[in-house]
């Protein structure tokens, strides 16, 4: 068998980052009938390229299987909608966007972001492969191309509709197994003086805050500033600014342009962040050592807590049915005897079951009908928003917990 190759530089992959065993696809929520059938589990073993330093998960399933019908709708989170509006307002002002420009978003989901530009009378176009999610975007008036993005589609859109003045690819770069074709497509579709923006979880936050639950099969790559700069530069793109965001437990927002355009000066914080990563050794093996051991400790701590609660006759329920929660629960081996149910605001998940664990997903009202002693918040990045939604339970004495970066009861 030939060795696995890096999806960016094609060098052999041999260094393990963390092995989370096997798990089903994290967004493959089950119907009651499907719970009576076998489920496919796939390896969840992340590797690091020692040549280009890209941390990556080998593809075990096709994007067609993972993304054509998708359970995640961005509009379900109030804080995420506020994040989208703030972004649209900021870039519209910064780059002088108006009706003469075109904003194109790759992986536009249910149109949650593009409608912010449309309300400002800026022409928009979404690209979203999930049919069910794209239909929701069309319903609110966001025109959407229902296809996977890459160089071929970019060339077709360029010929049919023209280039993108602002090209947005938020939280999708990690979702692309053919990384070079995807970035080549971005380069082709971006106008000569256009701006590309990318948002993605920051690898440094994943490592330093034990965010192993953000690893699942639809996240093929995990980027540092150093690795993303190398990927973009190989395709003629220059990063001219970067922002550090609190979203998803710590993300980067990259602003890039064609390297040969020299339209905008490079902000000092680009070099500052790169220097910080180099000083911490993210171009070496050093900072990755110890991560797998910390992950195993989290599993022990969570299982010990859940078993103690069960032995004492106290109840624990979950809040949320995010993909990250499915990684956590499957890796830790949690089943319904330790977590009776979870709740989620999304009607697309209610009445279904978590993949692998078969834990039922109920509407949030179930927490009030069956008040538990503890609520384990699975989307820990939204813990403050969720606490606010459940203030009545808080007042009644229910305790709230997160498992990442370690098992913590929220004050």
* Average of per-residue pLDDT across 347-374: 95
For every residue of 285-345, DSSP letters joined together read SGGGTTHHHHHHHHHHHHHHHHHHHHHTT--EEEE---HHHHHHHHHHT--TTT---EE-S
Give CA–CA dist 54/31, Å, rounded: 36
Question: pLDDT band for position 163 (50/70/90)?
Answer: very high
DSSP 3: P
Cα 297 from Cα 350, distance rounded (Å): 31
How many Å separate Cα 231 from the centre of its chain? 19
**Rounded distance, CA 186 to CA 254, Å?**
14
pLDDT of res. 248? 86
Residues of the chain within CATH 3.40.50.720 domain(s) are: 291-409
Is residue 77 a contact partner of residue 35, using CB atoms and an 8 Å limit? Answer: no
- Per-residue pLDDT averaged across 121-150, rounded? 93
CATH (one of 3.40.50.12280, 3.40.640.10, 3.30.70.270, 3.40.50.150) for 67-288: 3.40.50.150
> What band does 411 get if pLDDT is binned at 50, 70 and 90?
confident
Residue 72, pLDDT score: 59
> What is the rounded average pLDDT for all residues in the chain?
94
Strand-by-strand arrangement of the 144-145 sheet:
144-145, 124-127, 103-106, 164-170, 190-201, 251-258, 237-245
Provide the pairing of β-strand 144-145 with 124-127: parallel
All CATH 3.40.50.150 domain ranges in the chain, comma separated: 67-288
pLDDT digits (tens, 9 = 90+) for 18-52: 999 999 999 899 999 999 999 999 999 999 999 99
Burial class (CB in 10 A: 0-12, 13-18, 19+), 191: buried
73-82, 105-114, 142-151, 373-382: lowest mean pLDDT where? 73-82
Residue 75 pLDDT level (bands cut at 50, 70, 90): low
pLDDT in tens, 288-313: 999 999 999 999 999 999 999 999 99
The helix (run of H) or strand (run of E) holding residue 393 is helix 391-396
Residues counted in the chain: 411
CATH of the domain spanning 291-409:
3.40.50.720
Instruction: Give per-residue pLDDT as tens, 84-107.
Output: 999 999 999 999 999 999 999 999
pLDDT at 118 over 80: yes
Average the pLDDT over 379-387 and give the result. 91
Per-residue pLDDT tens digits for 169-215: 999 999 999 999 999 999 999 999 999 999 999 999 999 999 999 99
Whole-number Å distance between alpha carbons of 278 and 274: 6
Whether 70 shows a pLDDT value over 60: the answer reads no
């Amino acid at each position: 068998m030939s060795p696995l190759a890096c999806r960016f530089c094609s060098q052999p992959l041999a260094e393990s980052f963390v092995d989370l065993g096997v798990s089903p696809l994290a967004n493959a929520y089950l119907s009651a009938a499907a719970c009576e059938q076998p489920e496919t589990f796939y390896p969840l073993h992340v590797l690091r390229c020692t040549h280009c330093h890209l941390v990556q998960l080998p593809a075990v399933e096709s994007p067609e299987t993972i993304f054509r019908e998708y359970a995640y709708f961005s509009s379900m989170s109030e804080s995420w909608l506020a994040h989208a509006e703030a972004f649209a307002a900021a870039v519209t002002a910064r780059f002088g966007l108006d009706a003469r420009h075109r904003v194109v978003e790759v992986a536009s989901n249910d149109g949650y972001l593009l409608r912010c530009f449309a309300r400002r009378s800026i022409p928009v176009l979404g690209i979203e492969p999930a049919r069910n999610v794209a239909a929701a975007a069309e319903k609110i008036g966001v025109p959407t191309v229902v296809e996977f993005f890459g160089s071929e589609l970019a060339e077709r859109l360029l010929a049919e509709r023209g280039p993108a003045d602002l090209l947005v690819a938020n939280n999708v770069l990690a979702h692309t197994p053919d990384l070079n074709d995807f970035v080549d497509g971005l380069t082709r579709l971006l106008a000569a003086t256009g701006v590309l923006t990318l948002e993605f979880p920051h690898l440094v936050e994943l490592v330093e805050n034990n965010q192993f639950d953000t690893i699942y099969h639809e996240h093929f790559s995990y980027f540092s500033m150093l690795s993303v700069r190398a990927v973009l530069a190989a395709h003629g793109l220059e990063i001219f600014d970067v922002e550090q965001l609190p979203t998803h437990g710590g993300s980067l927002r990259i602003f890039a342009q064609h390297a040969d355009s020299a339209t905008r000066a490079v902000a000092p914080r680009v070099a500052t962040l790169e220097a910080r990563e180099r000083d911490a050794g993210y171009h070496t093996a050093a900072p990755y050592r110890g991560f797998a051991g910390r992950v195993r400790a989290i599993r022990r701590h969570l299982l010990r807590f859940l078993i103690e609660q069960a032995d004492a006759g106290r109840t624990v329920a979950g809040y949320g049915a995010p993909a990250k929660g499915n990684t956590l629960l499957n890796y830790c081996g949690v089943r319904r005897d330790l977590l009776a149910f979870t709740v989620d605001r999304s009607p697309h998940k209610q009445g279904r079951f978590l993949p692998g664990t078969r834990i039922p997903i109920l509407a949030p009202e179930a927490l009030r009908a069956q008040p538990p002693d503890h609520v384990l918040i699975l989307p820990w990045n939204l813990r403050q928003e969720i606490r606010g939604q459940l203030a009545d339970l808080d007042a009644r004495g229910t305790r709230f917990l997160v498992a990442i970066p370690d098992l913590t009861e929220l004050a």
